[in-house]
A and B are shown apart, each in its own frame.
Chain A
Amino acid sequence: MNPAAFDYVVPRTLPEAVAELVKHGQEAKVLAGGHSLIPLMKLRLSTPSFLVDIGRIGNLSYIREEDGHIAIGALTTHHDIEFSDLLKNKLRLLTSAASQIGDPQVRNRGTIGGAAAHADPNGDFPACLLALDAELKAVGPKGERTIAARDFFVDTFTTSLEPNEILREIRIATPPPGSKGTYLKFSRRSQDWAIVAVAAQVRVTGHEVTQVAIGLTGMGSRPVRASGVEQALRGKPGHDDELRAAAERAVDGTDPQQDLNGSPDYRRHLAQVLTRRALEQITAHH
């Protein structure tokens, strides 16, 4: 079907965009890459009467390192992330996740800001941002505020963004040298949403796991941190049996859902398997 009719504005600056959102209230939605919103509109599951297209606002697409942080503009596409040399060197978890989202065409249009704001519990970036303790900078009528990833993802398709706020930037502390990341995703076909996926960022210094952060996709109504795994591993030498035992705790505190692709039991099992595999992969050369 065609989307229901709507009116449309293309602001040139963020304040203009925020002003439009304030003006149109609940009727308005933000359009970025459109790869979450437009399919819903075509099925008329979403019928906003006003779209604020932020796609032409300058300076929202970038990946740069500053003050020990990596800053990513909200309109940066999955493709730009996948192919970023900076991220390949310093934040492979994100390039790994980006390369597994949808398909090449989707990655050419979809944006990290859009993916974060859409908050699909089976989406790939949310678990990564959670694992990386990302900060999300949003601009609203009262100015800018910074939201920690753990506070940002609230529920299925729900974030702590106000309806009149727009995500501007995502900031992630540059992992220390030797810290490695990977994203392992399990789905029935490669183009599909994850049934379960694991975002892992781990640093082994000498014979000690000095950093371990695990985010899980598909294990609840929002991305979750596998804190049980992290506790079990932090400070340990990271031997195979320890990795295995730690990975068992990937199910702690999760509440996976039942759908066509997997039962809660199967998801819990996958979370353990994928966590172990991710840990093994990252620590393989130590």
Chain B
Amino acid sequence: MRRRVAVTINGTKHEHEVEPRLLLVHYIRDVAGLTGTHVGCDTSNCGACTVELDGHSVKSCTMFAVQADGTQITTIEGLAQGTALHPLQQAFWDEHGLQCGFCTPGMIMAAKQLLERNPNPTEQEIRVGLEGNLCRCTGYHNIVKSIQAAAKVMAPGAERKAPASVS
């Protein structure tokens, strides 16, 4: 009772026969071999497994791979262009937005959605927007700063500016 799943992950097509019970996160990690997406709980609380699915951030531990059949998925590995980091990745690095790094991929994927929906969020909007992601190292202080910094760089009209030129 295996089922065929075809998904595009970070622009690459993947097609496999899988057990229906296979969770999307396990498909991404164990079948597609992209281990940047992590598992931190069983109850959809921690958000370490957050990926983007057809433009929406989702918790890939709370979906079966078969439900994702035919979708476009972006994981943390799909954000950097070659060796150029995505502005959010760069901002997390610049602002010390991570320590152990385990929650970071999910946190960045959640932040990406947050900024897409609200390019210029207040501190409180950022904090509320991160409700689905738990971090135990940073107290979120520098995560909030990272997202604020990324928002500046990613704001419409700011795309052309290199981070260094933003004073």
Q: Do A and B touch, yes or no (CB under 8 Å, in the complex)?
A: yes
Instruction: State how many angstroms separate the Cβ of A266 from the closest Cβ of chain B.
Output: 24
Contact partner of B21 among A2, A43, A109, A191, CB < 8 A? A2
Contact partner of A105 among B19, B20, B47, CB < 8 A? B47
Instruction: State how many angstroms separate the Cβ of B115 from the closest Cβ of chain A.
Output: 12
Indicate if A260 sits at the interface (CB-CB under 8 A): no
* Nearest A residue to B1, CB-CB: A7
A8 touches B66 (CB 8 A): yes
B131 touches A191 (CB 8 A): yes
The total of chain A residues at the interface (CB under 8 A) is 30
Chain B residues, CB < 8 A from A55: 67
Instruction: State how many angstroms separate the Cβ of A37 from the closest Cβ of chain B.
Output: 9
Instruction: State how many angstroms separate the Cβ of B130 from the closest Cβ of chain A.
Output: 8
State in angstroms the CA–CA spacing of A39 and B49 once bound together.
14
B62 touches A38 (CB 8 A): yes
Indicate if B155 sits at the interface (CB-CB under 8 A): no
Contact partner of A39 among B20, B57, B62, CB < 8 A? B62
With A3-B21, A7-B1, A53-B66 already in contact, the answer to whether A102 and B42 are too (CB < 8 A) is no
SS class of chain B's interface: helix, strand, loop or mixed? mixed
Indicate if B63 sits at the interface (CB-CB under 8 A): yes
Indicate if B147 sits at the interface (CB-CB under 8 A): no
Contact partner of A104 among B3, B45, B113, CB < 8 A? B113
The total of chain B residues at the interface (CB under 8 A) is 32
Instruction: State how many angstroms separate the Cβ of A77 from the closest Cβ of chain B.
Output: 8
Which of A31, A34, A105, A109 gathers the greatest number of chain B CB atoms within 10 Å?
A105
State in angstroms the CA–CA spacing of A10 and B65 once bound together.
13
Indicate if B96 sits at the interface (CB-CB under 8 A): no
Chain B residues, CB < 8 A from A43: 42-43
State in angstroms the CA–CA spacing of A31 and B50 once bound together.
20
Chain B residues, CB < 8 A from A190: 128, 131
State in angstroms the CA–CA spacing of A108 and B51 once bound together.
12
Which of B23, B50, B67 gathers the greatest number of chain A CB atoms within 10 Å?
B67
With A105-B59, A190-B131 already in contact, the answer to whether A39 and B44 are too (CB < 8 A) is yes
What are some 16 contacts across the A-B interface (CB < 8 A)?
A: A2-B26, A3-B21, A3-B23, A8-B1, A8-B3, A8-B20, A10-B66, A34-B63, A38-B62, A42-B61, A104-B132, A105-B50, A105-B58, A109-B58, A109-B59, A109-B62
